[in-house]
Structure 1
Amino acid sequence: MTQPTALDIALAYHRAWTGHDFEAAMQYVADGIVCLAPAGPIEGAEGFRAFMEPFSKLLLESTLLSAYGDESTALLMYDTRTVPVPSAPAAELLTIESGRITQLRIIFDRQPFTEARADAR
């Protein structure tokens, strides 16, 4: 039996959280994950959960645009439709070690979410 590739792990994680099964998604996250997000670094699985789980609850739909990987990294680009924002494209560069995500660098535009919060007031 072959070991899953970094891309396999990244896609399984992505399918889980975009499929509204955040507990399954967390099975792919290392305890010591470092997430490099636009607001700054987030360390540890619980910090990562606090950052990502609320967003996953706002998610209505996600479209995977592209995915690439090698032995230890994967790159995903996708678009999301959320409750407050109709289109929120993002990219993630994931580092995988021993079948777990040890680093996730996420790039997305925070401005549409800031505007949606301001409009809701």
Structure 2
Amino acid sequence: MEIALAYHHAWTARDLDAALTHVAEDVICETPSGALTGNVALKGFMGPFAETLTRSELLASFGDEDRALIMYDTGNRAVASAPAAELYRVREGRITEIRIIFDRLPFALARGDVIRA
């Protein structure tokens, strides 16, 4: 749990280099956009979003030394509220798997995408 929280606090503080010290080089990350492999790909995915953050609020967290679940809400200039959850698997002191779940609708609306029911 401590490693997952340290990673979360670092990336939401816009310090991706510090965040990646908690991540395995060959991390597997499942995102709403598809799977990523490796910490370079993870940095490329998280970095642009982290740089735009205007706020981050940790809503809940639970887990142990092998698995953790964190729920949070973030905001940026385009989206006031973007709730998300991340499930982490930790092995030998590093995050080896991340599953990110978030609602893409607020971002689509901010871009002006047409949403059909």
Q: Same fold (TM over 0.5)?
A: yes
The alignment status of 1:105 with 2:99, answered yes or no, reads yes
Within the candidate set 65, 78, 81, 1:87 is matched to 81
Aligned twin of 1:43: 37
Give, in whole Å, the separation in 1 of the partners of 2:44 and 2:22.
Answer: 16
CA distance in 1, matches of 2:74, 2:4: 17
Q: Aligned partners of 1:112 and 1:71: how far apart in 2?
A: 33
* CA RMSD across the alignment: 1.1
Q: Which amino acid aligns with 1:39?
A: S
Q: Secondary structure at the match of 2:45?
A: helix
Q: What is the rounded CA distance, in whole Å, between the counterparts of 2:81 and 2:34 in structure 1?
A: 23
| 1:81 CA displacement | 1.1
* Residue ranges of structure 2 left out of the alignment (5+ in a row): none
Number of positions where the alignment pairs a residue of Structure 1 with one of Structure 2:
113
Regions of 4+ moved over 4 Å = none
Task: Give, as a single letter, the amino acid of the residue that structure 2 aligns with 1:24.
Answer: A
Secondary structure in structure 2 of the residue aligned to 1:81 = strand
Share of identical aligned residues, percent? 51
- Whole-angstrom distance in 2 between the partners of 1:106 and 1:84: 20
TM-score if structure 2 supplies the norm length?
0.92
1:67 is aligned to 2:32: no
Report if aligned partners of 2:2, 2:65 keep a CA contact under 8 Å in 1: no
Q: Which residue of 2 aligns with 1:76?
A: 70
Give the CA deviation at 1:71.
Answer: 3.1
Residue 21 of structure 1 corresponds to 15
